[in-house]
Amino acid sequence: MKFIDQVNIYAEAGKGGDGVVAFRREAHVPKGGPAGGDGGKGGSIVFHATNSLTTLLDLRYQREYKARAGQNGMAKKMYGADAADLIIKVPVGTVIYNADTDQLLADLVEDGQHATICRGGRGGRGNARFASSRNPAPTICERGEPGEKMNLKVELKLLADVGLVGFPSVGKSTFLSVVTKAKPKIADYHFTTIVPNLGVVQVKDGRSFVMADLPGLIEGASQGRGLGHQFLRHIERCRVIVHIIDMSGSEGRDPYEDYVQINKELEEYNYGLMNRPQIIVANKMDLDESEENLRRFQEKVGEDVKIYPMIAPIHEGLDQILYAIADTLATAPESVMEEEEDSVLYTFEEMDTPPFEIHNRGNGLWIVTGEKVEKLVQMASLYTDDGFKRFARQMRNLGVDEALRISGAQDGDTIRIMDFEFDFYN
């Protein structure tokens, strides 16, 4: 299966159902009495985390998600049915952002966890809700509220306990293949691993943990060079980092310089990666120069730093490394990500934005924009006198009339809000 760990999609919640104007037939009651019911609520867009998925492949092939609208209200004060929420299943470890503002909306880290990202619109009220002593037979109703919609960036960050880091071709894939049943691609050239590989490690004393072999780092990865952020995104959640070094220098690089460069990239990624426990593994110890390079390496990092020699293909040194990893995990923080970045679920907080803006287009045309006024137009019942009068009062109460007057609007000028136009009069 192709591994997909980042995708952009469009999500739109359902519109609320429209309220209706209806009257019942009853003697001695004006027009039979109002009996129009409310519309149903529109469906919301809900993300649901599940362990049954391991990739965002489904989202790659379907880029638009639209929930159903609520049912319109009916006569006899009957409510319209609420629309079902649209459930989008994603792997555990999925993070959801507003693609336009880069705001974190949800971080799904547990099986069964869910987050409502786009809220469905509420149903419009029927005319039975507008009856009063002054107007016992109103012809007013509301159209359904539009559902929320936004462009989303969806990322998958693997939930591995242990992350393998190191330059390309240092033996990370080989190490994973011999300690787990994972079958990563292994070959003698750079960037054999271009997608993360996961495996479950079973230590001989019964302990187990999840290990991820991640794409190799190069200098400048924290700025996006090479596989850059594609790699670093997945190591953010790892509790322990296993740093594998080619101690033979077979690629013509100095092992200590490799060690310093990888740690520099981890530090510059700004997720506190250098604060994670790190286990240093010296691989390819069967090759020439390895023993001498290890001696010089130990001198440079200091005698207090524990280094674990390994010859991965023949399993030499593996048990000692796995016991060290399991021991380190036993004392490592359980949820490093929660300490650095709160797990957020979308809360629909009101944005501190102006209620409307007025634009003079010349030739007596004025355009009014703003979320509040546009929503009033979308929900207004403009085909009856009562409905239009109510809309005019709402505009006046919002301050649109006074703002147009101050801006220079004259009697007879055309006012446009979305696709609705009306004449302005003082």
Binding residues for Mg(2+): 173, 193
Q: Which residues have CB under 8 Å from 357's CB, separation 6+? A: 368, 369, 370
DSSP 147: P
**Residues 108, 93 contacting (CB under 8 angstroms):** yes
**Residues making up the binding site for GTP:** 166-173, 191-195, 213-216, 283-286, 311-313
Q: d(Cα 324, Cα 239) in Å, to the nearest integer?
A: 14
Q: What angle do CA 424, 124, 152 make, to 5 degrees?
A: 90
Is the Cα dihedral 338, 344, 345, 347 positive or negative? Answer: positive
Strands of 208-334, DSSP E: 208-213, 240-246, 278-283, 307-309
Q: d(Cα 195, Cα 310) in Å, to the nearest integer?
A: 24
**Residues making up the binding site:** 166-173, 191-195, 213-216, 283-286, 311-313
Pairing of strands 6-12, 64-66: parallel
**3-state helix vs strand vs coil in the chain, percent to 5:** 25, 25, 50
Q: Which residues have CB under 8 Å from 154's CB, separation 6+? A: 6, 7, 8, 9, 56, 59, 90, 94, 95, 96, 97
Q: d(Cα 407, Cα 421) in Å, to the nearest integer?
A: 18
Query: 109 by DSSP, 3-state: which?
Result: coil
**Residues 228, 219 contacting (CB under 8 angstroms):** no
Q: d(Cα 129, Cα 85) in Å, to the nearest integer?
A: 26
> Which among 376, 361, 357 has a CA at the least distance from the CA of 414?
361
A 10 A CB-CB count for 65 gives 20
**Residues 170, 190 contacting (CB under 8 angstroms):** no
Query: 45 by DSSP, 3-state: which?
Result: strand
Q: State which amino acid sits at residue 168.
A: P
